[in-house]
Structure 1
Amino acid sequence: MQVLYRKYRPRAFEEIEGQEHIVRTLQGALASENVGHAYLFCGPRGTGKTTMARLLAKSLNCGKYQKRAEGQLQNIPCNSCHSCSEINEGRSLDLIEIDAASNRGIDEIRNLKDSARVAAAGGGRKIFIVDECHMLTKEANNALLKLLEEPPQHVFFVLATTEPYKIPDTILSRVQRLDFKKISPEQIKNKLTGIAKKEKININEPALVQLANSASGSLRDAESAFSKVIAYAGQGKAINLETVTEILGIVPLQVHDALINLILSKNAQEAISQINDLHEAGIDLNNFLKQFIRHLRAKLIGMIGEKSYVVVASATPGQATPDVLINMLNVFMRAANEIKLSPVPQLPIELAILELTK
């Protein structure tokens, strides 16, 4: 089975989830024939940056766009003309995608400049998508800058990054920046619900909610996780919350609450034993710690009156106060930074527990 995020990649602007402000901006530019020669798409992974870039490229070379009445954008891109079909099938010579994470040097940008001078194969526009553009070397950025300053009339650039603060100011001043936002759990759930219906997957509401909440605003991550869950459960079998939590390695909230209670009661031995039990059970402690911090935050916000968060936080133990939870959050946030470098995954969490229970 083809992975879901590829199978259900949007082919029209109307199918884009959660980025209506960017869709409106680009469609307005297309309608007025005022498309910028260079854009910078910024935002978290899995929020549609590359997909949006491909839609823009497809629209610019769409046969229907070339022949449309002034200001009309209905059914553009059309997904039926020769140019649209080539891009959909990944064989267009006028859409060049470069992964700057692995092609980050000046030689690659020089090759790009040489390609930009050549007319588009279809006689239209040539579009370059530079993904992970923050990875380009200083020399490569300088070479790219010259091209952005005076691009050929038929050439358009879309730079994409998850880390815009690493982009040189000289580049930023020559592009139109569009910021992608994380996609809401509700929008992700609705998208997964639609996929489940099309794929005839029997999955209940709590399982869909868990998949959406675990994606941290990334639709691609949610679709990838859904593919894993389907493969694990087997075609035609019902998928419930237990299936999702098991395959994603999500620790039940009761375990989080038990750990909080052990820390509050100063029972370091039992708390550390619980962490080691999770480690031996194959739980990724880095992911567990992220979940635990989110759970603590939900409890803190629920305690200070934001009722919308109470649904994800069970009753806070009596000994906990906002100050106590803030201290726990600070200590475990430090542990979250240290766990990435620790040769013993459980050690930073154990040290955090000892600090909080002394």
Structure 2
Amino acid sequence: MSYLVLARKWRPRRFEDIVGQSHITRVLRNAVSAGRIAHAYLFTGVRGVGKTTAARILAKALNCEKGPTPEPCDQCNACSEIANGSAIDVYEIDGASNRGIDEVRQIIENVKYQPAKSRFKIYIIDEVHQVTKDAFNALLKTLEEPPSFVKFILATTEPHRLPETILSRCQRFDFRRIMVREIVQRLSEISKQEGLQITEGALLLLAREAEGSMRDAQSLLEQVLSYAAPGAGAGNAGAMIDESLLQEILGVAERKVLYDLSNAVLQGDAKRCVELVADVVVQGWDIPRLSRELVEHFRNLLVVRLTQDSPSSSFSRLLDLPDQEVGELKVQATELSADTLLDYFRFMARGDEEVARSAYPRFSLETVLVRLATLPKAAPIAEIVERLEKMERRLSGGAGHNRPRPGGEERAAAEKAEPEGQPPESGSAENGTEEVWRKFVAFVMKEKKILGSHLEQVHPLEMPPGPLKIGVGERYHFTYLQDPENMALLKELARRFFSQEVAVAITSLGARKPELKNGGQGGGDPPKAESDSGGDIVKETLRIFGGSVRGIKRET
């Protein structure tokens, strides 16, 4: 007998043998038991998760000589023929090579004939999304009302490419990716049956490389089995396959490299990051794949940090990893805030796109890791806002006709001194007008902070009891205040503050030349603001996000 690959040799023969799809197999078994068998099924999911296998088992359950039964005997002629692919009443059709309207017409012509010797005539159409639109349209009527002895089972990896008219005529079952733990368990059983000595860590690496596909995992296991089998080479017969040997066979980076790289990043050791990437290149591992695994690793660190106080059951749902690796992630994420880990993940994900597009992926990955290693730890938002306000006050502390922004204590005192609805005392002196304007701005800041921030940058030309005229020097503030929605809000706030209807007018003052702090008199240069050189905060912002200072604009 010719050799069968592991994926075919260990193909499930009963519903309970299908790994990781219990939510589907239970429904199918109950449907067969109750006699509620639909005329058309649609199985969707990624490659190698059991779609075609489930279709064959369902065909055996329907045509078994002891059935229909949810437990096909797998011994009768019908079950054996379906398992061998020689059943004359079970048609397995490849949708990629039988995609035209002529092939579909042949199906339509044949469905009206009774099955030759089985209970049902079953059509299994794999990769059905490859069928043309005209062929789908020709199949609609037959798929909606087939003869009672005909069943359709469609399988696809891309259900979004199917017409809605096809989807609505089928019972849809979505096969999910198989979890790493389930793949490891199945591979362990196959390894014992095949006499392969392999460690659990190596099985875990195989399962992770399969990315949720049992067929891919079995294909990788067969490659390992060929390496360890007698005759593969001197001294290799019966060899124990461990993680390091498996990494050499498959050419993938070991998990330890991920932890070494992430530790170097977290410790700010950019030199170590470059050295580790060089080691990976020397060993011939795939750089883009390593980059993708680093993205996943930082994501795992973030999830562990967010769920560190959650019960252990939540980790199995969010992290498809063994308990030992979850513990290592906890240790690594303990000293870091969620904001810091979020920054690491965001920059790594963005850098992975650069690595994937780059003609020099090694250099791109090195650049990304150096950037991460030199990235400052994220500070709390409140602290950043406070630092920005201090910097703004320093930058606006120069000369000019604008009054510096009142501090937090002054603003609070103004709000306390002037409650809503209490009209200010009128005065003809300029200082009185400025005082009323300051209190009005403080009131607006309390109600609508964004609007108040714009009012702090403009000037009162006339105050109630007459109209409220506002002079605006910058086009940006002028455009914002002229917006009908913002103008209506400003009128409403003015009415509430002055306890009367107030007409509001916005006047453009045009560009003004900056004045020196000494009133424009005297020689010497004006004092330099801290922003002339960018300031520490500006420099750090440019270093992190890139860019350059194109010019410095002083408000007057």
Q: Which TM-score applies when normalising by structure 2? A: 0.57
Map of 1:94-113 to 2, 5 A cutoff? 94-113=89-108
Q: Which residue of 1 aligns with 2:174?
A: 179
How far off its partner does 1:38 sit?
0.4
Amino acid in the other structure paired with 2:140: L
Q: Which residue of 1 aligns with 2:303?
A: 301
Q: Which residue of 2 aligns with 1:43?
A: 45
The superposition leaves residues 53-78 of structure 1 with CA deviations (integer Å, 9 ceiling, x where unpaired) of 00011121111116xxxxxx37x321
- Given the alignment, which residue of 317, 324, 341 partners 1:325? 341
CA contact (8 A) 2:301 2:333 kept: no
SS of residue in 2 equivalent to 1:65:
coil
Change in CA separation of 1:268 and 1:209 when aligned onto 2, cut-off 3 Å: closer
The superposition leaves residues 229-264 of structure 1 with CA deviations (integer Å, 9 ceiling, x where unpaired) of 111233422222222233233322332233334545
How far off its partner does 1:347 sit?
6.0
Amino acid in the other structure paired with 2:251: G
Q: Is 2:225 the counterpart of 1:209?
A: no
Task: Report percent identity of matched pairs.
Answer: 42
Q: Which residue of 2 aligns with 1:70?
A: none
For residues 270 and 243 of structure 1, the distance between their equivalents in structure 2, rounded to whole angstroms, comes to: 25
Change in CA separation of 1:322 and 1:146 when aligned onto 2, cut-off 3 Å: same
SS of residue in 2 equivalent to 1:96:
strand
The superposition leaves residues 158-214 of structure 1 with CA deviations (integer Å, 9 ceiling, x where unpaired) of 111223233222111110111222223232222222212211222223222333343
SS of residue in 2 equivalent to 1:63:
coil
Q: Which residue of 1 aligns with 2:186?
A: 191
Greater Cα radius of gyration, structure 1 or 2? 2
For residues 50 and 116 of structure 1, the distance between their equivalents in structure 2, rounded to whole angstroms, comes to: 21
Q: Is 2:153 the counterpart of 1:158?
A: yes
Tell me which moved more, 239-248 or 56-65: 239-248
How far off its partner does 1:20 sit?
1.8
Q: Once superposed, what is the RMSD of the aligned Cα atoms?
A: 2.9
Change in CA separation of 1:185 and 1:258 when aligned onto 2, cut-off 3 Å: closer
How far off its partner does 1:151 sit?
1.4
Q: Which residue of 2 aligns with 1:200?
A: 195
Change in CA separation of 1:328 and 1:147 when aligned onto 2, cut-off 3 Å: farther
Amino acid in the other structure paired with 1:105: G
For residues 319 and 220 of structure 1, the distance between their equivalents in structure 2, rounded to whole angstroms, comes to: 40
How far off its partner does 1:50 sit?
0.7
Change in CA separation of 1:294 and 1:127 when aligned onto 2, cut-off 3 Å: same
Count of residues in Structure 1 that have an aligned counterpart in Structure 2: 351
How far off its partner does 1:18 sit?
1.9
Q: Which residue of 1 aligns with 2:492?
A: none
The superposition leaves residues 104-125 of structure 1 with CA deviations (integer Å, 9 ceiling, x where unpaired) of 3333323332333343232432
Amino acid in the other structure paired with 1:252: E
- Given the alignment, which residue of 269, 282, 285 partners 1:283? 285
CA contact (8 A) 1:50 1:131 kept: yes
CA contact (8 A) 1:94 1:120 kept: yes
The superposition leaves residues 313-336 of structure 1 with CA deviations (integer Å, 9 ceiling, x where unpaired) of 374378854223323323333454
CA contact (8 A) 2:39 2:146 kept: yes
How far off its partner does 1:346 sit?
4.0
Q: Which has the higher contact order (CA 8 A, sep 6+)?
A: 1
SS of residue in 1 equivalent to 2:72:
coil
For residues 140 and 356 of structure 2, the distance between their equivalents in structure 1, rounded to whole angstroms, comes to: 36
Q: Is 2:114 the counterpart of 1:122?
A: no
Q: Which residue of 2 aligns with 1:248?
A: 250
How far off its partner does 1:354 sit?
6.3
Q: Is 2:165 the counterpart of 1:170?
A: yes
Q: Which residue of 2 aligns with 1:69?
A: none
The superposition leaves residues 252-293 of structure 1 with CA deviations (integer Å, 9 ceiling, x where unpaired) of 233223333454566667645644553453322333223222
Q: Which residue of 1 aligns with 2:549?
A: none
Q: List alignment gaps of at least 5 residues for structure 2.
A: 231-237, 320-325, 375-542, 544-556
CA contact (8 A) 1:295 1:312 kept: no
Q: Which residue of 2 aligns with 1:145?
A: 140
Q: Is 2:225 the counterpart of 1:230?
A: yes
Q: Which residue of 1 aligns with 2:365?
A: 349
CA contact (8 A) 1:46 1:220 kept: yes
Q: Which TM-score applies when normalising by structure 1? A: 0.85
The superposition leaves residues 91-113 of structure 1 with CA deviations (integer Å, 9 ceiling, x where unpaired) of 12222222223443333323332
